[in-house]
Amino acid sequence: MNNVSDSAVLSQFAYSEAAHRALGRAPALFIDGAWVASTHGLTIPVIDPSSGKSVGAVVDASEADVDRAVAAARRAFDDGRWTQLPPAARERMIQKLADLIEENCDELAELEAIDNGKPKAVAAANDIQLSIGILREMAGWSTKLGGELIEPSMLPRGTFHSYVRREPIGVAAQIVPWNFPLFMAAAKIAPALAAGCTVVLKPAEQTSLTALRLADLIAEAGFPAGVVNVITGHGHSCGDRLVKHPDVDKVAFTGSTEVGKTINRHATDTLKRVTLELGGKSPVVIFPDVDVQAASSGAAGAIFFNAGQVCIAGSRLYAHRSIFDKIIEGIVDAAAAWQPRASLDPSAQMGPLVSDEQFHRVMGYIEAGKKAGATVAVGGDAPASDGGFYINPTVLVDVAPDMSVVREEIFGPVLVAQRFDNLDEVAREANDSEYGLGASVWTRDIATMHQMAAKIRAGTVWGNCHAMIDPVLPFGGYKQSGLGREMGRAGVEVYTELKTVIISL
């Protein structure tokens, strides 16, 4: 079996002038339509995961900074500068923001690569395009969210006039993760703005660069002051204050299940509306009638894309016993193409992990799996490099259902593989998890496909593909993978309240 750890990873590639400008500007917050200094001087270093070196700094916002941002969003909502705009005007402004992201695609992709570690080409083709797509899709909902006329059922006809209005919730606190920084920011602000809400956006402290650059584009697009505010800082301080703030009406969070539970508890104090997109341990189920090469390649991409730092990563493989060995051989062969490289390396398909903390977390899981009896089919180690947080694509076999590597979300390029014999058995195994975010089924049999789609308890089930998402389709999880849905009509309606009006005639 191939080992992809033989060659050293070169971490240093030159930054563009645009990237140097973004990294070199003074740390600041975007509040009430302007760049402002923090009330204190604390900052957070920007670490390039490809080198492990500090390349800049962002503000670690104080509680007073959070209060300023929420106050700005509150004023912008209450005085009608956004909510009272004609819906078509809101739509045009959101579309303008999408245009500006498209115009600045190369710079945004580079900043994402420097900040997050994903290959620049991947960011340009995936993250930036998805960001543009979600903004364009949600912009159209600005003019399509309406109420409903409902005739009362127990009153004499014509004596009462009743209807239901759909109104924006208010101020939305939006906390996004570090694995898809720009796309997650766009996916949060787009439906909120379309619904008429105002926003305080907090990117992950590890990856704030594209959110800050997005603030520049929001100003350029002409959004009224205070409609979108961007603050940076640690989750345990800045994020905590934002979630607990009495003037915040809704919280949308994407991240770990543990943090999501904490946010949900805090939100109950003021009964804030909450959308949570949380962890996953998605099964990839391969039946014996597949094209082995295609299924193996698909399974490899399902776990190694973005170095496995994907909530819907296909991290649990279930292959039918009759083809298990061939599938593993195919994934091991495919792993060679996923050798980690620096994010600005034009040949990179997989970059480093986001941080030193995440590197040690993932390596800890690999070691725990080995100690528990798992066998390494490929990887299981870190390549030689001159810096950075690289881990080779890893496949563990001979695993048991009770192992931590099978039950817990690793969030790295680590696949655990198991055999199965029949449909009912694998459906039970696929559902034997506290998570239920995604799953994929690989088969040529349409009946098997639909049976599995019905049996698997997950928010999205893919057939003969994995992790395909589209802005028009709702996305979210079952069980401890979250609350509510994002994207699609459901994703914009969660930013609204229903008001019933009954008038005696």
Beta carbons of 351 and 307 less than 8 angstroms apart: yes
Residues contacting residue 314 through CB under 8 Å, at least 6 positions apart: 282, 283, 284, 299, 302, 303, 415, 438, 440, 466, 467
How far is Cα 371 from Cα 361, in angstroms, rounded to an integer?
15
Residue type, 322: S
Beta carbons of 199 and 276 less than 8 angstroms apart: no
Kindly name the residue from 311, 409, 486, 493 that is annotated as catalytic. 311
List, in sequence order, the alpha helices (H) in 423-496: 423-431, 446-455, 488-493
Number of H helices and number of E strands within the chain? 17, 22
Known catalytic residue at 277: yes
- Sign of the Cα torsion 208, 282, 134, 495 reads negative
How far is Cα 181 from Cα 175, in angstroms, rounded to an integer?
10
How far is Cα 503 from Cα 155, in angstroms, rounded to an integer?
12
Around Cβ 447, how many Cβ atoms within 10 Å?
A: 9
- Lookup: tokens for 38: 């923090």
Give how far the C-alpha of residue 157 lies from the chain's centroid of Cα atoms, to the nearest Å: 49
Instruction: Output phi, psi for 371, to 5 deg.
Output: -65, -30
DSSP calls for 140-166: HHTTT---EE---SSS-TTSEEEEEEE
Kindly name the residue from 277, 409, 429, 493 that is annotated as catalytic. 277
Helix (H) / strand (E) containing 360: helix 356-371
Of how many residues is the chain composed? Answer: 505
How far is Cα 84 from Cα 196, in angstroms, rounded to an integer?
8
Q: Strand pairing of 148-149 and 29-31?
A: unpaired
CB-count burial class (<10 Å; 0-12, 13-18, 19+) for 373? exposed
CB-count burial class (<10 Å; 0-12, 13-18, 19+) for 497? middle
How far is Cα 4 from Cα 14, in angstroms, rounded to an integer?
25
How far is Cα 410 from Cα 143, in angstroms, rounded to an integer?
41
Known catalytic residue at 429: no
Angle at 331 between CA 177 and CA 299, to 5 degrees: 45
Task: Write out the catalytic residue numbers.
Answer: 277, 311
